[in-house]
Structure 1
């Protein structure tokens, strides 16, 4: 799959997710086969660019692959400036967020709220594309609500403005994450434009990924919630990533436990022990859903307020389940 001048290693992408797709998680997903990963969403407001939180969101490591940064905002000139600043900081690809359904984002007329205003969408896209010399992509939903499905119109605007690839989450903003993703809208967009189309929404298995690609004709797929606590999902989709699937061995419980320990340790190092142990709690909760969802260990782990003690408790827990074979793996 190609986006602009970049040839991706495959067509399986990791979705940008606020509070989740930080540098450690992007590196981990890339290691297990994600063809492209995106930073957490950066607001276009220049007042927040130099905060510690923004610096962490922009932190990049070559092991994460192409440095793709997502920006969000509603002012065309601010968005253009934000794109330029991020390219100066090392962004190799800019993604524009017009799909976030969060109220605090939509109140500022950013994210999926912009789908209500196609003329403003065009202004923003043109401004950003003309401001930078790297590929610009776009992520949207099918529309604002079920009475206003306009993803085909937005896709045609995007193509005219020079957007290099378009990701569509198969729900409206009104749907949030409820109900089933509606892939027929993605199919309609694919038939209406010639730029690469990436399908997103409810893709959590190889079987579902195959169905979505076959049904929609999309050029690639994007994994979001399916990667939470499950970074090896990209390896399980190896057949679609044009990897010889006969050579793929599902990670053992021992390997998974080792990966989780390294991930949590890296979170402590990346954020610092004081913040890192808090960030680690949600990731461990997601990991446990796939390993031992009924365990009381999650409650025990969340009560720990020391980074070193977190690692010690995790290691003891993993030694116990490895020795007793008590897991879902």
Structure 2
């Protein structure tokens, strides 16, 4: 990919030269409330996905989990033409970001060592607004060294990492954690109490246990007691629900049942990053995929990343059929690089897509909430009590609200990912 050796001059880029610099107040626990958040997703949470999520209404975005040791062996580089910041390892960029997303960006750390977690945070703190400790991913790539969901059974280590991060980071950098439910609600509340007392600003709860998988319905009815418990602690901590939310409209159901301050979206956002909007895009092959690919090239996103994300997109077809879009699907499958897909997504610049994202962010006027904010909701009646198994694991009652099915037709791309789809959105 070609790059200009020098930044554009004011004469060649008057739009950039005249654009004012917006100042944002430091992130606080209040910024984690009343919003829809993009979940941390391995591979799917790439920079273009995060930027489009912000454009379409996400309040905050989480970057993909990055292991502490991985980021420590990188070199920070800034592209003079686009402003993209890349942390390069030996063979590829481990993490990329752009200054436009910094006020909304939460960097998720995978760690099982307080000292390494702090070192990793110090490496990237100039480019993010907060750090989140991954305490929930159950996949081997995260748990093999005591990280991710393994921390749920080692609360001393979990809390020591959060405490170390809070003590090491300046006050304007927030610290948060993302956990899963423990089999016992009593044990979950005990863990939550310890975590809240470390000084975090927000707690995300994926409403599944470590052994549950994506095909199993999230037990969102358990969250209301956790939310009420945290609120009674009086620290103003935001509790964010994660699990089975399909988008802006569906978030009302989730908030009514759980009382959560905000909702985090993973799988639905992987399929359609515009799901944060009250009017998400449809016919994505025409309305979204070409723009995503153009932005990916403009930002220097590695083709394999852009291609993988494009293969995950799916949504309603209203004005087109899959057969009509066969050429685009096949071209993406065959493409070895951006040049191979050019005829389907031209013009190539990508600058227009980026300018529209910048404009959408600037319309927030220095506030983190999007122009169309979530509407207040009343709590739904408390559902019927849940039962427990002989090992004290919660089982949802038949009356618990069921997750809605996604009426979507995918791109139909036969591109096997290096990791399973579950490993991507399971955090």
TM-score by length of 1: 0.80
* 1:80 aligned residue: 118
Cα shift at 1:55: 4.7
CA–CA distance in structure 1, aligned partners of residues 181 and 313 of structure 2: 31
Question: Any gaps of 5 or more consecutive residues in structure 1?
Answer: 237-248, 316-326
1:13·1:37 contact (CA, 8 Å) conserved in 2? yes
CA–CA distance in structure 2, aligned partners of residues 263 and 207 of structure 1: 24
1:210 to 234, 247, 252: 252
Larger CA Rg, structure 1 vs 2: 2
Change (3 A) 1:152 1:299: farther
Question: Any gaps of 5 or more consecutive residues in structure 2?
Answer: 1-25, 76-86, 232-236, 347-407, 411-427
* 2:297 aligned residue: 268
Are 1:123 and 2:160 matched, yes or no? yes
Change (3 A) 1:311 1:152: farther
2:46·2:305 contact (CA, 8 Å) conserved in 1? no
Change (3 A) 1:48 1:219: same
Larger helix share, 1 or 2 = 1
- 1:3-152 equivalence runs, <5 A: 4=28, 7=31, 10-45=34-69, 47-50=72-75, 52=88, 55=93, 57-63=95-101, 65-87=103-125, 89-133=126-170, 134-143=173-182, 146=183, 150-152=187-189
* 1:240 aligned residue: none
**Matched residue count:** 299
Change (3 A) 1:28 1:207: closer
1:11·1:35 contact (CA, 8 Å) conserved in 2? yes
Change (3 A) 1:52 1:258: same
Change (3 A) 1:8 1:256: farther
CA–CA distance in structure 1, aligned partners of residues 338 and 307 of structure 2: 11
CA–CA distance in structure 1, aligned partners of residues 297 and 247 of structure 2: 30
Change (3 A) 1:5 1:166: closer
1:16·1:41 contact (CA, 8 Å) conserved in 2? yes
Cα shift at 1:299: 4.3
* 1:280 aligned residue: 306
* 2:205 aligned residue: 168
2:117·2:161 contact (CA, 8 Å) conserved in 1? yes
Cα shift at 1:57: 1.6
CA–CA distance in structure 2, aligned partners of residues 42 and 161 of structure 1: 22
Cα shift at 1:260: 2.3
Change (3 A) 1:284 1:55: closer
Change (3 A) 1:328 1:124: closer
1:178 to 207, 215, 236: 215
CA–CA distance in structure 2, aligned partners of residues 163 and 173 of structure 1: 22
TM-score by length of 2: 0.63
2:42·2:64 contact (CA, 8 Å) conserved in 1? yes
Cα shift at 1:282: 2.5
Q: Aligned to 1:37, what secondary structure does the other structure show?
A: strand
* 1:306 aligned residue: 337
Cα shift at 1:181: 0.2
CA–CA distance in structure 2, aligned partners of residues 7 and 250 of structure 1: 23
Cα shift at 1:270: 3.0
Cα shift at 1:164: 0.6
1:220 to 245, 262, 265: 262
CA–CA distance in structure 2, aligned partners of residues 137 and 258 of structure 1: 35
Mean Cα deviation higher: 38-47 or 130-139: 38-47
